[in-house]
Amino acid sequence: MGAAEPIHVPKVAELVAADLRRRIVAGDLAEGDELPRESDLLAEFDVSRPSLREALRVLETEGLVRIRRGNVGGAVVKRPDTASAAYHLSLTLRANDVTHRDLAVARDAIEPICAALAAGLPGRQAVAAELGHLVDESERCATTAEFTGSAHDFHRRLTELCGNTTMRLVAGTLEALWSAQETRALGLELGADRARARRSSVAAHRRLVAAIAAGDADRAAREMRTHLVEMQQVLISEFGSTVIEVTTPPVASGRGGRRATP
C-alpha cells in the first residue's frame, strides 16, 4: 500500500482568516465596516500578533479587506461583488492567455440569456421602464466617455434585473471585465465613427427594451446578441487576437470610520 497522504493541520492564521471570512460572506460584517481593533481581535482569538496580521494579509490577498496603514490603520471590509470577481477572473484569464475575442464570445453567449430571462419575468414592465430610463439618460451624455459608461450601466443593470442570481453574477462579472477592456481603448479612435456607433447602440437598446416589455424572450436574446456582436466589432478588429489586461483591483469604501461589532 502506498504511503498515506499527510494530514493538513491548519495554521492559526488560517483559522482566524476562516472565521473572519465567514463573517464577511455571511453578511455579519458589511461593506465598508472596519474590523474590530487589533487589541480586540487579539483578545477574541487569543493568538499572537504575527498570526493575526498574517490572517489579515490572507483576507487582503483575497480582496475581502483593505488594510490601512499609519495612524488611522485598520482593516476595512470589502464584500465580494462583480467588480472583485472580475479582478480575480481577469488574473486567471490573463494567466491563461485569454484574448479579447475569446472573452467577447463568452459575453455573447451569456448576456442574451439574461435578456431572455428578463423578458420572461412577471414584473418585466417595471424592468423595461427602468432600462428605458437608462437609455434616455445615455442619449443626454455629452462625451464619448460618459456615453460608454452609461451604455455599460444599461448592460450591468439588465443583468441585475434578470431574476436569476447566478446568471446576474456571472454575466455581471463578464460585463465588468469587458467594460474595463473597452475603457482602456477609449482614448484610441480606432477608425470608428463614434456618432454612428452611439446612434446604433441607443437604437439597439430601445429595441431590446421593447422586446422585454413585450415578453418576447427569443427576440430579446436575439436583439442582445446582435447588438453585442456589432458593438464589440471595433475593439475586436483591433485587439481581438491580443491577450486581455488585468482589471484594477477593487478598493473597499470606508463609511466614516465605523467599527463593526462581531
For the stretch 156-175, pLDDT in tens is 999 999 999 999 999 999 99
Q: Tell me the CATH number for domain 82-239.
A: 1.20.120.530
Contact 163, 118 (CB under 8 A): yes
Residue-level pLDDT at 261: 44
pLDDT level of residue 242 (50, 70, 90 thresholds): very high
**How is the chain split into domains, by residue range?**
12-77, 82-239
Residue 259, pLDDT above cutoff 80: no
Q: 12-77 belongs to which CATH class?
A: mainly alpha
Lowest mean pLDDT among 29-33, 65-69, 127-131, 176-180: 65-69
Query: Could you report the per-residue pLDDT of 144-159, keeping only the tens digit for each?
Result: 889 989 999 999 999 9
Closest Cα partner for 242 from 97, 89, 96?
97
pLDDT score recorded for residue 127: 98
pLDDT value at position 23? 95
Q: Check residue 83 and give its pLDDT.
A: 87
More confident residue, 22 or 255: 22
Whole-prediction pTM value?
0.79
Q: Counting Cβ atoms within 10 Å, is residue 164 exposed (0-12), middle (13-18) or buried (19+)?
A: middle
Mean pLDDT for the chain? 89
Q: Give the mean pLDDT of 206-222.
A: 98
Cβ contact 77:31 at 8 Å: yes
